[in-house]
Chains A and B, each alone.
Chain A
Amino acid sequence: MQRVERFLFPSASAERLAALRIGLCAILAGRLATGPYTELAGQPRELFRPISFMELLPAMPPEPAVAALQAIGVVAAASAAVGLWARVSLPAAWACAVFLNGMLASTGKVVHNDVVLLLCLVPLLAARSADTWSLDARRAGRDQAGVTSRLYGWPLRAAAIVVAGAYFFAGVAKLVNSGPAWVTSDNLRWALYASGDSDLAVFIADRPWLAHALAAGTLLLELGFPLVLLWPRAAWILVPGAVLFHLGIWLAMGLDYSAQAATVVVVFVNWPLVVAMLRARPRPASTLE
């Protein structure tokens, strides 16, 4: 039990948690600012296919309400990113994002594009993520820079579990629903042919050996991702692998999982270390003149 306790509630620096807040909220602000939510507002109710909490609504909400939620969400996410009233702004941004993405998921298909981002933000709702690298900490004069505590480690671990679980369960679903045939049959070739006529999709689908290799690689990446929880150095392989995986899907099939790829990078990169390394770099000669 103590091992589980230590695993779920490790120590981390205030900066590491602050970096998670800044990164995820910045991604969220960008997604909320560019999402097509108002285009779905006022959709005829005959075409409304609600899921989850959206079933409480009789139809898509009207455009003024959606536009207001989008504006509030963007401002709240940007505020949370800079650590301004983060206790309020972060939950407000998350609530707006869940509702607006719930609209996108209520058109007849479960939409996963932003789900990992939304779920990784859940731990931050109850975390002290603005104890440093924030306007709140600066205004209050209680900046916790340099402090390491178990108060700051659990949201990072929970977000890492969400990312690892998302890939792992996607792999499990493939095995449960299709078995080894997901790799050994022409499944991926047909999926690529059906996704459109992009040059990359057709290039891969026309080469059965390549399609099988990529299908096997996909399953390996998804089922192997939890390794990063036990062996952090695996991130050096799995994180670039996930980014390349989503880039390939976008190029071949036109599916935009950029929010998920960016979330993976934000969660697993040690940003305080990156900042320290950048600060330690010798100044270029031109800045010394």
Chain B
Amino acid sequence: MSVAMTENERTADEHPSRGVRAFVVVFLTAFVTCGLVGLELWPLTGWRLFSHLRTDHQIAWQATAVAEGGETQIRFGELPRAYRNFPLVMRTFAALPRAEQTAACQTWLDAARRTLPTANGVRIYRVDWYLSHRHGPRDGPPPHSTLLLACGSKVADAAG
């Protein structure tokens, strides 16, 4: 590298190679394209962070472990982290083939047995609720649950 020296600093006149220039152009083009088009090629991303409108209406999912004594809500936050993505899995659950839905449900049953060994089934509910039921004017309708799926030895038929 040729270096021009001054008292305290030097300036090198070396330029980035063609390979480096191509690398920069390709990387930034991919970054900008994903950002503009909304492509998800993780770690390149479309940056959709809270970009869709939130409304009063909320959809949540709830899973209960079924045992002789009745139903007990499965608290996924208290299970190992590997099982805590229940609400995320449920976002696309309806699009899964029935066999995959049942397999996932069976996995949650196995997890539920960690805290409730007598559990013989799992029921999954969709819960429609309104933030205004809890906040602000508190005039929203109360939560409403719909049974989506059941799995296990004695509860599978209950979901229809």
Question: Which chain B residues in 69-83 approach chain A with CB under 8 Å?
Answer: 80-83
B14 and A162 contact, CB distance less than 8 A: no
Q: Chain B residues near A154 (CB, 8 Å)? A: 16, 20, 24
Q: Chain B residues near A46 (CB, 8 Å)? A: 100, 103-104, 106-107
Interface size on A, residues (CB 8 A): 70
Shortest distance from the beta carbon of A15 to any chain B beta carbon, whole Å:
10
Q: Decide yes or no: A173 and B92 within 8 Å by CB, A39-B80, A187-B54 being known contacts.
A: no
Q: Give the A-B pair count, Cβ closer than 8 A.
A: 180
A158 and B27 contact, CB distance less than 8 A: yes
Question: Which chain B residues in 1-36 approach chain A with CB under 8 Å?
Answer: 1, 3, 8-16, 19-21, 23-25, 27-28, 31-32, 35-36
Q: Chain B residues near A206 (CB, 8 Å)? A: 135-136
Overall SS of chain A's interface: helix
**Is B68 close to A, CB under 8 A?**
no
**Is B51 close to A, CB under 8 A?**
yes
B89 and A151 contact, CB distance less than 8 A: no
Complex Cα distance A98/B41, Å?
A: 12
Question: Which chain A residues in 126-159 approach chain B with CB under 8 Å?
Answer: 126-127, 144, 146-151, 154, 158
Tell me the nearest residue of chain A to B8, going by C-beta.
Answer: A146
6 A-B contacts (beta carbon < 8 Å): A8-B25, A107-B85, A123-B24, A173-B51, A177-B51, A194-B58
Q: Which residues of B contact A (CB under 8 A)?
A: 1, 3, 8-16, 19-21, 23-25, 27-28, 31-32, 35-36, 38, 40-56, 58, 80-83, 85, 88-89, 91-92, 100, 103-104, 106-107, 110, 131, 134-136
